[in-house]
Amino acid sequence: MNTELNSILNKASIKLIENQKELIIKSVFKVSNKSNIGVLLIFLGGIFIIYVSIFKSTDWFSIILGGLLGGIMFIISLLTLIDQTSNYIKITKKEIKFKHKLKTQCFTLNSNIKIKMTQYREHVNSDTTTYYQNITLYLINSKSKIEIFSFLIEGKDGKEAKKLGRIIVQKLNNRITGLKKI
């Protein structure tokens, strides 16, 4: 792989492993991503609220409300972290296996399977407006269209995000059509 592709993969927090037997595309957790920093802050905030409500509160209402609010923050952020660190696509001999949104699925390759990409730009309003390029990959077969992988890159790198999405789709489709001929 060339250094330009590695740079884009790094910005998208994706690891690409390719050899003759398999192709693996997986998410990598990086603390430097803005969205990951937010999730970590919510995670730590949930732990802090649970701690304060249980060990520093004197009335039952504060203990229950703080524990409930902190518990919800903790659980949601924990599930988000698990999801972000465990997403992958793996193509082996005759199957494609993927984990997305905490759900693992496996399909046997056939002539009806194709991988397609959608992309859109979303913005987040806070003190300043931040744009993100959202790339989503879908497995399309004769029966359904299933979301299999997605990633975000900051809007300033939107062209690189689209390029990375096209490269990944091309590699997946090439691997699928190549394996079907074996």
What is the DSSP code string of 134-148? Answer: EEEEEEE-SS-EEEE
Residue of 92, 94, 86 lying closest to 18 (CA atoms) = 92
pTM of the model: 0.82
Q: How many CB atoms lie within 10 A of CB 90?
A: 16
What is the pLDDT, as a whole number, of residue 182? Answer: 43
Tokens of 24: 């693996």
Compute CA 39 distance to the chain's CA centroid, rounded to the nearest angstrom.
13
Q: What is the pLDDT of residues 120-174, one digit of tens each?
A: 888 776 667 677 888 999 999 888 899 999 988 887 888 888 999 999 999 999 8
- For the cut 50, the answer to whether the pLDDT of residue 109 exceeds it is yes
Per DSSP, the three-state class of 24 is strand
Question: Whole-angstrom Cα distance, residue 182 to residue 33?
Answer: 40
More confident residue, 130 or 73: 73
Q: How far is CA 29 from CA 15, 84, 142, in A?
A: 10, 7, 34
- Check pLDDT > 80 for residue 50: yes
Residue 13 scores a pLDDT above 50 = yes
Residues 34-42, mean pLDDT to the nearest whole number: 87
Question: Rounded CA gap, 32 and 162, in Å?
Answer: 21
